[in-house]
Structure 1
C-alpha cells in the first residue's frame, strides 16, 4: 500500500518541482534579491503609507486615511493584519515562494489540478499549466503590479476543478476543493475577476444541467448543486471582513452610485442610473479584429511603448533626413515608440497572446472533442470575446451595460479576455487528450489534424502576408507623434515621413510575428503527425509540444517581464525619495494640512500621498461627491474650494528649472471654522453652482434635505471675532477639537462627508453631522467652550471582522475534514482492490 501511495504521489511532486524550477528560472533575478519594478505598486505604496505608519506606531487598525482625495476609508487600501485564517492558506498554497515566482507557480499548479480532474495525460497537464500561466496578459499584469488580479486569474482553474469534481460524483472532495478555492479567490479580492469567474460558473452549471437532463442523472446534478451552493457560501463568508465594508463603501463611490448632479448632462435617465459612466467604463475595449493577437502577438503592434533597433524603418528614415547615425543610434536606445495601432484609444501595455500552438490545438479541439464540456467552454469563449470588445460591439454590450447585473460597476472590458485565455488552454489540452487516448482511429485524427492546420495556418498566412500589405497601420497616437517629430526633425513634412516609417515598422512586425506563429504551428502539427504516423512515441512527441509551447510564450513574455524589469529594492525605493519641495513642506510642524501637487497628474498618481495628506491620489473608486468636486471645482482651480479642503501648500514646477517648488497658500481655511451664514440650496446642482462664487471661510452652502438636522431656514447666530475651533489631536480613526464661541454657531470641518461610520460628539454627547459645501462635514455647536470628537466607528467593519474570524476557522476545519475523508476513502478502495 505504501509503495502504491508513493507511486501515485511522485509524479505530482515532480510536476511541482518543474513548476517551481520554470517560474524561478524565468524570474531568476529574484535569486539576487531583486524585485519587479511595478508601476502600480508604487501607487499602492503611496496609498498605504499613512495607514501603515499609523498601524506600526499605534498598533491600532487604521480605518480612515487622509493621504488620498482629502480623506477616504483605508479599509479599501490597508488595515494591517486581519483575523481571516485564509491569509495563512493563501501563503501556504504558494509555498512561501518569492514574488512573482509565487504567482506563476500558483497559476501552473491550479491549472495542473484542473487537468488532473479532467483526467488528462501527465505531459498534457504540464503543457496546460505552462500555457495558462505564461499567457502574455498574465506576465504583463505582474510587470505593472496588478497583483490581486493575477492571483484571482491563477485561481480560476482551481475553482472549476472543484465544481467539475463535484458534478462527477466526488461530492465530498469536490465540496472541499470548491470551498477552499472559492475562499482563496474571494480573499484575493479582484472583484472584476471574481465577476468573470461567476459568469463562467453559471455557464458551466447550465451546461451540467443540460448534460444531466440528457443522461437522466438529474438527482446527482441537484445534489451536487446544493453542495456547491453551500461550498460557495462557506467560501465567501471568511471574506466578510473585506466584502461587507467594501460593499458599504461602494454605495458612495463612482462604481456603486451615481452623482446627484445633472450639470452638463442631457440624458437625465442615464445620469440617475447606478454604476460607472458608460464612456468611462468602456475605455480599453478590445478591437474585434484585434482579437487575432491570441495567435499573432504583433497583430496590433504589441504595446504603446517599445524600442526599435537600427534595422527599423524609423532609424533609416531619420538617417536619410540628415541625422548623424551615431546620434540616432543613441536615440533609438533611449526612445520607446508607439507601435500599437489597435482599438484601445488610451493604448496598452501589451497584447493578450495565448500562443500560436494553443490556438492551433483549440481549432483541432473543435473538430475532435465530443464531450459535453466543449459546449459550455465554447460558450464561455464567445461570451469573453463579446464582453472584451465593449464599445466595439456596442449593439450587445450597450444593452448588457444597463441590464446585466453589476456589469456597469467595472471598467476596461478587455479584461474579459481572461475567460477565452483559460478556455483556449483547456480545449487545446482536450484536443491532445483525444489524440493520445486511442478513442479515434489515426486516419480520422490525421484528417482532422490536416483540417486544423489548414484553418489556423491559413488564417496566420493570410493575415501576415495580405495584412502587412493592406491593413491600416495608423494609430491613435500618431497625432501626438507627428507633433513630436515635427519639433525634432524640422517641420511637418519630415514628421509625415517619420509617421510613414513608423507604420512600415508596424507592418514589418505583423509579417515577422505571423511567420513566427506559423513556424510554431508547423512544429506542433509535425510532432502530432509524427506520433500518429508511429514515427515518434507519445512521450517524446509530448515533450516536443511542451517545449515548443514554453519557448513560444516565454519569448513573447520577455518583451514585457524580462530581466531588466527587476531592480534592487533600493533602486525602487529611490522613486519614493522626497523632492526639495516635499522636504520643505515637511518642516511645517502643523500636524494636519493638505498638499496639492500640480507637477504630476494629480488624480492619477498616489506617489505624493507617500509624503503628504493629499488633495489628489489614485483610485478608480473615488467617492462620487469628491469626483464631482474634482470635475466642477478643483479642476477649475477654484481657490475657495481648495481653501475649504485646507490646501496649505501647492507643489508647482519652477518656471526656470522645471523642478518642483513649494508655494504656501496663506488663505487656506484651516482644519475647522465657524461660518457667519448659510446659503440654502434647493438641490445638488444649485449647491455645486453656489461653490463657484462662495467665500467658504465666511459662508456655507447646504442642501435643503438637511433642514431637519439644522432646523428649517436655520442661520447661525452672528459669530464673534474670537470664535475658534482648534484641532488638539490628530488620528486616522478620530480627531479631537476644542471650540470657543460666545453664541451658538455652525462649525465647518475640512473633512470629507462620509455617513457610513463617522460620528460626532460634543462633550461626549452624540451630535448630527450635516453635509455642507457639497462634500464637507458641519456641526451645530452650542455657545461656550466645548470638546468635540469626530470618530470613525464603522459598525459594518467590526461585525465583518467577527464573521470572518469565526467562519474562516470553520472553513479550514471543514476542508481538512473533507480531504481526510477522501484519503481514507482512497485507502479503502485500494484495500478492496488488493483483496
Structure 2
C-alpha cells in the first residue's frame, strides 16, 4: 500500500518541481534580491503609508486616512492584520515562495489540479498549467502590480475543480476543495475577478443540470448543489470583515452609487446607472477584430510603448532625414513608440495572448470533443468575448450594463478576456486528451487534425500575413506623435514621413508575429500527426508540444515582464524620495493640514500621499461627493473650496528650473471654524453652485434636508473670538476644543461620511450634518466644549467577529474533509489489493 501511495504521489511532486523551477527561472532576478518595478504598487505604498505608520505606532487598526482625497476609509487600502485565518492558508498554498514566483506557481498548480480532476494525461496537465499561468495578460498584471487580480485569476481553475469534483460524486472532497478555493478567491478580494468567476460557476451549474436531466441523475445533482451552496456560504463568511465594509463603502463611491448632481448630465442615458458612468466604465474596451491577439500577439501592435531597434523603419527614416547615426541609435535605445493601433483609445500595456498552439488546439477541440462540459466552456468563452468588447458591442453590452446585477460597478471590459483565456486552455487540453485516449480511430483524428490545421493556419495567413499588406495601421496616438515629431524634426512634412515609418513598423510586426504563430502551429500539428502516424510515441510528442507552448509564451511574455522589469529595492524606493519642496513642508510643526501637489497628475498619483495629507491621490473607488468636488470646484482652482479643505501648501513647478517648490497658502481655513451664516440650498445642484462664489470662512451652504437636525430657519452666531482648535489628531478620532459665547455652527475640514463617523460634545452624541456639499458640520452650544469626532463603523467590527469564527470553522472542516478522503481512499485501496493479487 505504501509503495502504491508513493508511486501515485511522485508524478505530482515532479510536476510541482517543474512549476517551481519554471517560475523561478523566469523570475530569476528575484534570487538576486530584486523586485518587480510595479507602478501600481508604488501608488499602493503612497495610499497606505499613513495607515501603516499609524498601526505601527499605536497598534490600533487604522480605519480612516487623511492622506488621500482629503480623507477616506482605509478599507480598500490597508487596515492592518485581519482576523481571517485564511491568511495562513494563502501563504501555504504558494509554499511561501517570493513574489512574483508565488503567483505563477499558484496559477500553475491550480490549473494542474483542475486538469487532474478532468482526468487528463500527465503531460497534458503540465501543458495546461504552463499555458494558463504564462498567458501574457497575467505577466502584464504582475508587471504593473495588480497583485490581488493575479491571485484571483490564478485561483479560478481550483474553484472549478472543486465544483466539477462535487458533481462527479466526490461530495465531501469536492465541497471541501470548493470551499477552500473559493474562500481564498474571496480573501484576495478582486471583486471583478470574483464576478467573472461567478459567471463561470453559473454556466457550469446550468451545464451540469442539463447533463443530469438528460441522464436522469437529478437527485445526485441537487444533493451536490446543496453541498456546493453550503461550501459557497462557508467560503464567503471569513471575508465578511472586508465584504461588509466594502459593500457599505461602495454605497458612497463612484462604484456603487450615483452622484446627486445632474449638472451637465442632461442625457438621460448617463443617469440610468447606479454605478459607474457608462463612458468611464467602457474605457479599455477590446476591439472585436482585436480579439485575434489571442493567436497573433502583434495583431494590433502589441503595446502603446515599446522600443524599436536599429532595423526599424523609424530608424531608417530618421537616418534618411539626416540625423547622425550615433545620435539616432542612442535615441532608439531610450525612446518607446506607440505601435498599438487597436480600439482602446487610452492605449494598452500589451495584448491578451494565450498562444498560437493553444488557439490551434482550441479549434481542434471544437471538432473532436463531445463531452457535455464542452458546451458550458463555450458559453463562458462567448460571454467573455462579448463582455470584453464593451462599447464595441454596445447593442448587447449597453443592455447588460444597465440590467445585469452589479455589472455597472466595474470598468475596463477587456478584463473579461480572463474567461476565454482559461476556457481556451481547458478545451485545448481536452483536444489533446481526445487525440491520446485511444477512443477514436486514427483516420478520423487525422481528418480532424487536418481541418483544424487548415482553419487555424488560414486565419493566420488571411488576417496576419495578407492583412499586413492591407490593414489600416493608423492609431489614436498618431496625432500626438505627429506633433511630437514635428517639434523634434522641424516641420509637418518630416513628421508625416515618421508617422508613415511608424505604420510600416506596425505592419512589419504583424507580419513577423503571424509567421511566428504559423511556425508554432506547424510544430504542434506536426507532433500530433507524427504520433497518430506511429512515428512518435505519445510521451515525446506531448513533451514537444509542452516545450513549444512554453517557448512561445515565454518569448512573448518577456516583452512585458522581462529582466529589465526587476530592479533593486533601493531603486524602487528612490521613487519615494522626498523633493526639497516635500522636505520644506514637513518642517511645519502643525500636525494636520493638507497639501496640493500640482507637479504631477494630482488625482491619478498617490505618491504625494506618501509624504503629506493630500488633496489628491489615486483610487478607483473615490467617494462621489469628493469626485463632484474635484469636477466642479477643485479642477477649476476655486480657492474658497481649497481653503475649506485646509490646503496650507501648494507644490508647483519652479518657472525657471521646473523643480517642485512649496508655496504656503496663508488663507487656508484651518481644521475647524465657526461660520456666521447659512445659505440654505433646496437641492444638491444649488449647493454645488453656491460654492462657486461662497466665502467658506464666513458662511456655509447646507442642503435643506438637514433642516431637522439644525432647526428650521436656523442661523448660527459667532463672537469675534470664537474658535475651534484641534487638540489631538488621530486616524480614527479627532479631538477639538471650542469656545463661543453664542450657539454656533462649527464647520470641520473633514470629509462627510455618515457610515461610521460620530460626534460627541462633552461626551454627548450629537448629529453631524453635511455642509458645503462635502464637509462635516456640528451645531455647537454656547460656551467652552470638548468635541470628539470618532470613526466607529459597526459593520467593520461585526465583520471581524464573523471572519475570525467562520475562518477557523472553515479551516477545521476542510482539514477534516481531506483527512476523511485520505482514509476513505486508503480503505478502498486495501479492499482492492487482494483482488489484484
SS in 1 for 2:75: helix
SS in 2 for 1:780: strand
Deviation for aligned residue 1:818: 0.7
Matches of residues 618-657 of structure 1 in structure 2 within 5 Å? Answer: 618-657=618-657
Quote the Cα distance in structure 2 between the aligned partners of 1:464 and 1:755. Answer: 56
Matches of residues 239-318 of structure 1 in structure 2 within 5 Å? Answer: 239-268=239-268, 270-271=270-271, 273-318=273-318
| Residue of structure 1 equivalent to 2:795 | 796
Is 1:472 paired with 2:464?
no
SS in 1 for 2:98: coil
Matches of residues 271-420 of structure 1 in structure 2 within 5 Å? Answer: 271=271, 273-420=273-420
- TM-score where L is the length of structure 2: 0.99
Quote the Cα distance in structure 2 between the aligned partners of 1:673 and 1:268. Answer: 40
Quote the Cα distance in structure 1 between the aligned partners of 2:652 and 2:324. Answer: 37
Quote the Cα distance in structure 1 between the aligned partners of 2:271 and 2:715. Answer: 33
Asked if structure 2 preserves the Cα contact closer than 8 Å seen for 1:258 and 1:272, the reply is no
Deviation for aligned residue 1:273: 3.1
Asked if structure 2 preserves the Cα contact closer than 8 Å seen for 1:259 and 1:271, the reply is no
Is 1:126 paired with 2:126?
yes
SS in 1 for 2:536: coil
| Residue of structure 2 equivalent to 1:825 | 824
CA deviation map 1:310-368 (0-9, x unaligned): 10000000111111111001000000000000000000000000000000000000000
| Residue of structure 2 equivalent to 1:228 | 228
Deviation for aligned residue 1:195: 0.2
Quote the Cα distance in structure 2 between the aligned partners of 1:272 and 1:470. Answer: 41
Deviation for aligned residue 1:154: 0.1
| Residue of structure 1 equivalent to 2:762 | 763
Deviation for aligned residue 1:270: 3.8
Quote the Cα distance in structure 2 between the aligned partners of 1:269 and 1:99. Answer: 44
Is 1:142 paired with 2:142?
yes
SS in 2 for 1:363: helix
Deviation for aligned residue 1:267: 2.6
- TM-score where L is the length of structure 1: 1.00
| Residue of structure 2 equivalent to 1:454 | 454
Quote the Cα distance in structure 2 between the aligned partners of 1:503 and 1:634. Answer: 40
SS in 2 for 1:715: coil
Quote the Cα distance in structure 2 between the aligned partners of 1:72 and 1:637. Answer: 22
| Residue of structure 1 equivalent to 2:542 | 542
CA deviation map 1:678-714 (0-9, x unaligned): 0000000000000000000000000000000000111
Quote the Cα distance in structure 2 between the aligned partners of 1:552 and 1:265. Answer: 48
Quote the Cα distance in structure 1 between the aligned partners of 2:296 and 2:698. Answer: 63
Asked if structure 1 preserves the Cα contact closer than 8 Å seen for 2:152 and 2:188, the reply is yes
| Residue of structure 2 equivalent to 1:782 | 781
Matches of residues 582-621 of structure 1 in structure 2 within 5 Å? Answer: 582-621=582-621
Asked if structure 2 preserves the Cα contact closer than 8 Å seen for 1:593 and 1:648, the reply is yes
Deviation for aligned residue 1:268: 4.4
Quote the Cα distance in structure 1 between the aligned partners of 2:828 and 2:304. Answer: 57
Asked if structure 1 preserves the Cα contact closer than 8 Å seen for 2:769 and 2:776, the reply is yes
CA deviation map 1:198-217 (0-9, x unaligned): 00100110001000011110
Quote the Cα distance in structure 2 between the aligned partners of 1:166 and 1:830. Answer: 21
Matches of residues 514-553 of structure 1 in structure 2 within 5 Å? Answer: 514-553=514-553
Is 1:35 paired with 2:27?
no
Quote the Cα distance in structure 1 between the aligned partners of 2:30 and 2:783. Answer: 63
Asked if structure 2 preserves the Cα contact closer than 8 Å seen for 1:679 and 1:701, the reply is yes
Asked if structure 1 preserves the Cα contact closer than 8 Å seen for 2:654 and 2:660, the reply is yes
Is 1:207 paired with 2:207?
yes
| Residue of structure 1 equivalent to 2:109 | 109
| Residue of structure 1 equivalent to 2:723 | 724
Deviation for aligned residue 1:75: 1.9
Asked if structure 2 preserves the Cα contact closer than 8 Å seen for 1:47 and 1:68, the reply is yes
CA deviation map 1:580-617 (0-9, x unaligned): 00000000000000000000000000000000000000
Deviation for aligned residue 1:269: 6.3
Quote the Cα distance in structure 1 between the aligned partners of 2:273 and 2:564. Answer: 46
Which structure 1 residue ranges, 4+ long, deviate > 3 Å from structure 2? Answer: none
Asked if structure 2 preserves the Cα contact closer than 8 Å seen for 1:260 and 1:272, the reply is no
CA deviation map 1:633-674 (0-9, x unaligned): 000000000000000000001111111000000000000000
CA deviation map 1:422-473 (0-9, x unaligned): 0000000000000000000110000000000000011001122221111010
Deviation for aligned residue 1:76: 1.6
Quote the Cα distance in structure 2 between the aligned partners of 1:106 and 1:270. Answer: 41
Asked if structure 1 preserves the Cα contact closer than 8 Å seen for 2:270 and 2:278, the reply is no
| Residue of structure 2 equivalent to 1:574 | 574
CA deviation map 1:786-816 (0-9, x unaligned): 0000000000000000000000000000000
| Residue of structure 2 equivalent to 1:170 | 170
SS in 2 for 1:82: coil
Quote the Cα distance in structure 1 between the aligned partners of 2:629 and 2:480. Answer: 30
Quote the Cα distance in structure 2 between the aligned partners of 1:268 and 1:630. Answer: 23
SS in 2 for 1:60: coil
Asked if structure 1 preserves the Cα contact closer than 8 Å seen for 2:652 and 2:662, the reply is yes
Quote the Cα distance in structure 2 between the aligned partners of 1:727 and 1:90. Answer: 42
SS in 1 for 2:274: coil
SS in 2 for 1:700: strand
Quote the Cα distance in structure 2 between the aligned partners of 1:763 and 1:465. Answer: 78
Quote the Cα distance in structure 2 between the aligned partners of 1:828 and 1:90. Answer: 31
SS in 2 for 1:76: coil
Structure 2: runs of 5+ lacking an equivalent: none
Asked if structure 1 preserves the Cα contact closer than 8 Å seen for 2:272 and 2:402, the reply is no
Quote the Cα distance in structure 1 between the aligned partners of 2:430 and 2:326. Answer: 53
SS in 1 for 2:466: helix
Deviation for aligned residue 1:49: 0.2
Asked if structure 1 preserves the Cα contact closer than 8 Å seen for 2:261 and 2:685, the reply is yes
SS in 2 for 1:679: strand
Deviation for aligned residue 1:513: 0.1
Asked if structure 2 preserves the Cα contact closer than 8 Å seen for 1:262 and 1:268, the reply is no
Quote the Cα distance in structure 2 between the aligned partners of 1:171 and 1:261. Answer: 52
CA deviation map 1:95-135 (0-9, x unaligned): 00000000000000000000000000000000000000000
| Residue of structure 2 equivalent to 1:816 | 815
Structure 1: runs of 5+ lacking an equivalent: none
Deviation for aligned residue 1:253: 0.3
Quote the Cα distance in structure 1 between the aligned partners of 2:445 and 2:685. Answer: 68
Asked if structure 2 preserves the Cα contact closer than 8 Å seen for 1:259 and 1:272, the reply is no
Matches of residues 728-743 of structure 1 in structure 2 within 5 Å? Answer: 728-743=727-742
**Aligned pair count?**
834
Quote the Cα distance in structure 1 between the aligned partners of 2:272 and 2:539. Answer: 61
Asked if structure 2 preserves the Cα contact closer than 8 Å seen for 1:757 and 1:795, the reply is yes
CA deviation map 1:498-543 (0-9, x unaligned): 0000000000000000000000000000000000000000010010
Asked if structure 2 preserves the Cα contact closer than 8 Å seen for 1:709 and 1:770, the reply is yes
Quote the Cα distance in structure 2 between the aligned partners of 1:507 and 1:487. Answer: 25
Quote the Cα distance in structure 2 between the aligned partners of 1:13 and 1:468. Answer: 46
